[in-house]
Structure 1
């Protein structure tokens, strides 16, 4: 395949891969407003297909930014088939992007790959930072490690690369807020399980701003925790969410009840019961300022 030796055009270009969900939709809208040429790679028929290597390479050539969010939802039962799809949907798409970028005369200037804060161990004693956090064990951690390994092993020396280990993303109109709001409104917004597990989160607006921050700061690369600086317990989380929606009381859900419910709705209790205590040390040190640093501020905006 032949490409132009110069930049294809002067308009800034972003490629969003697998970005058809809650986060991807926000980034697509945001960068379209900024005047970027937005290219989409996904399994949707109107987007560039994952098996169309030529089109992927054409989109990546001369791109200012590539953001890869591809990955099957983990909101399911971890049977053998789902485990395989969860793993391959992350590692294979990352491999495809790496191979395409490696062959280009003008590879993306910056490649941001999604990761997950679940990579850290169940933490109840101290927050996990990028430099001192301890990697956990289990299927979800294996997926997180394989995902990052596929990303960093891609032979793209001319592309600056960063991984965002994303915590639970909160925002209006989607993501995890829909089930949380339903729990609160129907009087089930009490603590879940023991209630002492940490809830690390980030507002959707701040996550998008982190992407912009990394694009501007050409001195930054590597692993970054995408989490708000305040990490509350599950009991505190649910109390703040109830207050935001004017509910004084919420029935708690013990672990055994969550296990039964998870089977019924075909998901895993790990999504609720694992203690994620993640601190954005590198972002704070680089000077990133959160618009929503506390859960109370975030929930005030979401519930408004």
Structure 2
């Protein structure tokens, strides 16, 4: 039986990817801190899991949907560095290492951009905590000089899917009449449907020429204003109150998150994927929302 190792496979994206690979007949081994899985502290067990695997996909890392206290920042940083370094060390100890290592990264590595989109070739890094995390995360991956294992960093944009992730708070905002623009509404919202995340992983598996960093985002980003319009339309809500920047700052403190997650203009394009010939199942937001919000689609 073909084998895939999912590191940090217990989150929103990981659970979806696990289900899809199992549907394709794969054995899926998960590395996590949960007792039923291979534990991050057990180097020998990680090496054993990776032996003869078709690939390892690392999605591990504390959620950034929290207040950036010093303790949370340390955990966000360490959870990404330590797991990436643990996988690299284990791959080096394999007799038959996986031919592909896909590691999560973040499109937040790019600067706040309202003037032009960021591609892998011309993107400019920003400043601040989340940018430094992204840079260190990728550096940890590519610091391993692996002779037979291809390394790919997925610069993930905001992942949209059913029953979890960011869709839950966005749906709640619209449902309770708060589905207007946030801030000035001009900030760009780069996003990707969760099904396309899985399809990109498979596409990378099947295309040996792809390595390095990959913008994992739909080809049709929208402004925050357009995002909220599309959400209201899909949920049949005509009115949505806007939220000024100062309201988001107060609200962020109340619900325990950072306004940056909504106010930063994330504008990235999947140039390398499109050049490689990848075709998105959900290239536009209206099509993605139709799928996600249609309760008859499972």
Q: What TM-score do the two structures reach when normalised by structure 2?
A: 0.98
Map 1:227-242 onto structure 2 (within 5 A). 227-242=217-232
1:178 aligns with 2:168: yes
TM-superposition CA deviations, 1:243-262 (whole Å, max 9, x none) = 00001110000000000000
| Alpha-carbon offset, residue 268 of structure 1 | 0.4
Map 1:46-195 onto structure 2 (within 5 A). 46-195=36-185
1:255 aligns with 2:245: yes
Q: In the alignment, what sits opposite 2:287?
A: 297
Contact 1:120 1:141 in 2 (8 A): yes
TM-superposition CA deviations, 1:101-134 (whole Å, max 9, x none) = 0111111110000000000000001100001000
Aligned residue pairs: how many?
294
Determine helix, strand or coil for the equivalent of 2:153.
strand
In 1, distance between residues paired with 2:235 and 2:279? 27
| Alpha-carbon offset, residue 155 of structure 1 | 3.1
2:194 to 184, 198, 204: 204
Q: In the alignment, what sits opposite 2:272?
A: 282
Determine helix, strand or coil for the equivalent of 1:247.
coil
In 2, distance between residues paired with 1:98 and 1:225? 22
TM-align CA RMSD: 0.6
Contact 1:195 1:233 in 2 (8 A): yes
Q: What TM-score do the two structures reach when normalised by structure 1?
A: 0.96
Map 1:13-32 onto structure 2 (within 5 A). 13-32=3-22
In 2, distance between residues paired with 1:220 and 1:68? 17
| Alpha-carbon offset, residue 164 of structure 1 | 0.5
Q: Which runs of 4+ in 1 moved over 4 A?
A: none
In 1, distance between residues paired with 2:291 and 2:71? 39
Q: In the alignment, what sits opposite 1:5?
A: none
In 2, distance between residues paired with 1:75 and 1:83? 11
| Alpha-carbon offset, residue 302 of structure 1 | 1.1
In 1, distance between residues paired with 2:21 and 2:238? 39
Determine helix, strand or coil for the equivalent of 1:287.
coil
Unaligned runs of at least 5 residues, structure 2: none
